[in-house]
Amino acid sequence: MKRLALVLAAIAAPAAAETIAITGGTVATAVGEQVIENGTVIIRDGRIAAVGAGLAVPAGATVVDASGKVVTPGLIAGMSTLGIVEVEGVRQTSDSAARGSPFSAAIDVTPAINPASPPIAIDRLGGITRAVVGPELANGVFAGQGAVISLANVGAGGNALMRGRAFQFAELGEDGARAAGGSRPAAWLDLKNGLAEAQRFARNPAAFDSGRDKDSLVKRLDAEALVSVVEGRMPLVVHVDRASDIVAVLGLRTDFPKLRLVLIGAREGWLVADKIAAAKVPVITLSLFDLPDRFETIASTRSNVGRLTAAGVTVCFGLFGGDSGTQGRNLPYFAGNAVAQAAVPGGAGLTRGQALAAITRNPAQIFGLADLGTLEVGKRGDVVIWDGDPLELTSAPSAVFIDGIAQPMQSRQTLLRDRYRDLTRGDLPLQYKR
């Protein structure tokens, strides 16, 4: 038993970083359209030390032959529920929404993040190395504070958190209207009142010392959580789809000039792409939104991403609004569909470099992760080696490195597959007839 415990501890503990030379692959750096044929990526002490063609391999380095394969930065899920949702539809395993809570903006997903949640390993096998984790609709238009996590194998007792309280999430449009009392005017009033109360809290915190002062509709903790938003230290991610709602969100800076806005959804964003670009507000969305499944999404089109990008908007892909928030491994295929859209008559799509950036460089840029998202000297050693084109359904990672550490290429799914793939009659449970 003691030997077994030591073995299990060794599996759970992260390996030490070493010098690694990934050689011979097609290196897509996510810097513009740059692709290096027969390239080499050298990782030292968890950071990228060199990228290029014809590089000498450092003495003592572990050499990984990527000949015939594609090398990319680790993918970043621009929004997800990884670590806070384990089984979709099973309430006991979901900590993404707190609809019965008296708090809203103060809710912080950080304490609920579970590094041993099975979807983390599954997404890591799909090339996802970091993920933005966001809450869902709570009590009012503010859903709470999200985080950024690493998908590195840290064991059940490890720490996946990279950055807590990374952003505030707000829900507007139809869902926000319903939560705020039944109309968009109520939702807007709820949003603006919350931001105004944060300003008032910052000026006089003692006025909230009883939890809720007699003149406030916002609890002390909620107002306190929104101070960093109105002061521009924390991004405000606003879920909104209708073009007119998008314009209204952009107008929030008239009253709150320091807001760092990020739009999520923006399914009619292409109609006001010039305004979004002029405001320098990034967008988190998906490439396959094309059905008018709500009154606020009548102008949905698969060309939305391409048209936003052409207008100069920074766009990244994330999972939200009905798309399983734990399935980040599907993001490369959304990126591939965005490339294919360019070939549709009348369609607007992305170049391959732009599509790769939407799942690497752009989410890193949006959330201030300056040392992630590209294969450049000094960046973290998050690198994925693919057995084919990463934007194709038939391709999969053959190796994943996070901070220069090779990750285990197994998950609960692969373990179950291997356990039951080659059963003999003797392996069947006792209740089965032999």
- Backbone φ and ψ for 158, nearest 5 degrees, come out as -80, -175
What integer is the mean pLDDT of 264-285? 98
Looking at residue 323, its pLDDT comes to 59
pLDDT digits (tens, 9 = 90+) for 390-399: 999 999 999 9
pLDDT of 246 higher than 50: yes
Residue 6: what pLDDT?
Answer: 36
In the predicted model, what is the mean pLDDT of residues 402-426? Answer: 89
List the structure tokens of 166. 């990374």
pLDDT band at 420 (very low <50, low <70, confident <90, very high): confident
Largest CA distance in the chain: 77
Q: Residue 9's pLDDT is what?
A: 41
DSSP 8-state symbol, 317: E
Q: Considering the chain, what is the average pLDDT of its residues?
A: 91
- pLDDT confidence band for 406 (50 / 70 / 90): very high
State how far the Cα of 360 lies from the Cα of 342, in Å rounded to an integer: 20
Architecture of domain 75-372: Alpha-Beta Barrel (3.20)
Q: Report pLDDT for 157.
A: 75
Residue range 101-145, pLDDT digits in tens? 888 999 999 999 999 999 999 999 999 999 999 998 767 899 999
pLDDT above 60: residue 2? no
Residue ranges per structural domain of the chain: 1-74+373-434, 75-372
pLDDT digits (tens, 9 = 90+) for 351-367: 999 999 999 999 999 99
Per-residue pLDDT tens digits for 47-64: 999 999 999 999 999 999
State how far the Cα of 112 lies from the Cα of 23, in Å rounded to an integer: 39
What's residue 3's pLDDT? 38
Q: Dihedral, CA atoms, 299, 302, 308, 313, nearest 10 degrees? A: 120
> What is the model's pTM?
0.92
User: Given this model, what pLDDT does residue 216 score?
Assistant: 62
Among residues 364, 359, 358, which one has the least CA distance to residue 380? 364
- What's the mean pLDDT in 180-208? 91
pLDDT of residue 162: 96
Question: φ, ψ for residue 62 (rounded to 5)?
Answer: -80, 120
Strand partners, 146: 167
Query: What architecture is the 1-74+373-434 domain classified under in CATH?
Result: Roll (2.30)
Decide if pLDDT at 5 tops 70. Answer: no
Contact 248, 188 (CB under 8 A): yes
Distance CA 47, CA 56 (A): 17
| pLDDT recorded at residue 322 | 63
